[in-house]
Amino acid sequence: MAPRLPRTRRAVAVPLGMALASSLAFLPQATPAAAADTEITPSALTAAAEGTKLSYVVNLRHHKATDSVERAITRAGGTVVATYRKIGVIVAHSADPEFAKVLRTVRGVESAGATRTAPLPAQATEVVGAPRALSAEEVAAATRAANATQDPLQPLQWSLPAIKADKAHERTLGSKDVTVAVLDTGVDDTHPDLAPNFDRRASANCVSGKADTTEGSWRPGPGESAHGTHVAGEIAAAKDGAGMTGVAPGVKVSGIKVSTPAGFFYAEAVVCGFMWAAENDVDITNNSYYTDPWYFNCDDDPDQRALVEAVSRAARYAERKGAVNVAAAGNENFDLAADELTDPSSPNDTTPGTRVVDPSECLDIPTQLPGVVTTASIGAKGIKSSFSNYGKGVVDIAAPGGDSTAFQRPEAPATSGLILGTLPGGRWGYMAGTSMASPHAAGVAALIKSTHPRATPAQVKALLYRGAVATPCTDPYDINGDGKVDAVCEGGKNRNGFYGAGVVDALNAVRK
């Protein structure tokens, strides 16, 4: 079982000479892999060995059935882990491979399914990504290039002027009354760029499916991924004369840990994360991941259908409670509006195989859920990143997520085409992916909420789309210059598959 990085699926070694804080540049293949001769069996039950515990979500037809279904779970040999009465979802554990099948026959149950194909705990302690921090020389060079209005590392952040965030900061840094929750691998709130803006009240560890608010439980453990900390810095690193600057450096940021140490984002944790955000008055959630172990969850599989239903209920509830949910589009250069795609990596927590899916019936969650702001990535030259998923009618908006410097090189003094972020232990470094685009969009949404504090989620999204810079299709799209088209964009200037409504604009976000 190999660990993975959220929204950074495949990786190649970074060429020497690139100023990177990570030993990996997250640049997937330009086209999806061809279908192999072998097919996977879609049901999680086939991978559940008898006598080993799996985790399940059980979705009720009505919340009034909660007590009777909990008793049915116990009678079936299961254990209730958490009950979310407001959305009718129960998280349970069982060692019986027929558990979900039995629960589907219980009166009051709409659907039930295993959230994984690997037995509990599926929490290996392998290092997930090994980012390299900026060197002292890189920090010194950036500091020399900074002007009086910039934080020392801001010259390395080409993504801020790309969305006019530097101009927006002249008007406002955002409101302390706005909180952006980072549902991710954990956030190191002790980082000096994050500590001034961190919201402990809205932070928790949701990995088990039940919120743990023990002090520091939301932080990444030793050897765990820096991904969530990096994302948090992109959103709300304080503008205080030190370090780097976030897109919305005056808002609050919280950490909701929804990833196992091995980097798996299971449905029970994602449900818990959305529910915790909803009940703690979070204004924006950032979701730079997909829900494991299935890249796409197909409606014709009862387990996968149950996962979509559970996460959908939680995300809808968070929005009803006032949160705008922003998510990364993914890094496989997939056309999510295509008639079919080849998924070569599911289930990723045991033995992945290859299957052909219809992305209109097999959903990447939470990315493709209704109401979610699906965010594609652009590089330093303002065009779709080589890895970014796309799709007319699927992608809502685009934002800087970086790209290989060989494809899109920023202007000096920036030296890397990747995105600068905070790293655990008070460090800074680079990553790239739609994982980085999503927090840029979330930061702009936070500025909108700061400017329009009474705006509903629907109104915040409308202002986000209306304020975006309409960007026409890149046609032809030959990112590596080899004479071959690497992706086809469909749609007009105001709505298309590469950029949705356009590239986010922070300056428009702070205009009343």
Whether 323 shows a pLDDT value over 80: the answer reads yes
What's the maximum distance between 2 C-alpha atoms anywhere in the chain? Answer: 68
Whether 384 shows a pLDDT value over 60: the answer reads yes
Q: Are 448 and 456 in contact (CB under 8 A)?
A: no
Residues 205-233, mean pLDDT to the nearest whole number:
97
pLDDT number for residue 19 = 26
What are 163-214's pLDDT values in tens digits? 999 999 999 999 999 999 999 999 999 999 999 999 999 999 999 999 999 9
Measured CA to CA, the distance from residue 379 to residue 51 in angstroms comes to 49
Measured CA to CA, the distance from residue 400 to residue 19 in angstroms comes to 18
Whether 122 shows a pLDDT value over 70: the answer reads no
Whether 436 shows a pLDDT value over 80: the answer reads yes
At position 493, the amino acid (one-letter code) is: K
Whether 278 shows a pLDDT value over 70: the answer reads yes
More confident residue, 434 or 14: 434
pLDDT number for residue 132 = 59
Measured CA to CA, the distance from residue 342 to residue 362 in angstroms comes to 11
Measured CA to CA, the distance from residue 39 to residue 22 in angstroms comes to 34
Return the closest-CA partner of residue 208 out of 259, 254, 171, 250. Answer: 259
Q: Are 273 and 258 in contact (CB under 8 A)?
A: yes
pTM: 0.91
Measured CA to CA, the distance from residue 405 to residue 509 in angstroms comes to 29
Q: Rounded to 5 degrees, what are φ and ψ at 113?
A: -160, 155
Three-class secondary structure of residue 66 per DSSP? helix
Tell me the domains of the chain and their CATH numbers. Answer: 49-114 (3.30.70.80), 134-509 (3.40.50.200)
Confidence of residue 86 (pLDDT cuts 50, 70, 90): very high
Whether 476 shows a pLDDT value over 80: the answer reads yes
Residues 142-152, mean pLDDT to the nearest whole number:
93
On average, the pLDDT of the chain sits at: 89
Q: Are 62 and 98 in contact (CB under 8 A)?
A: no
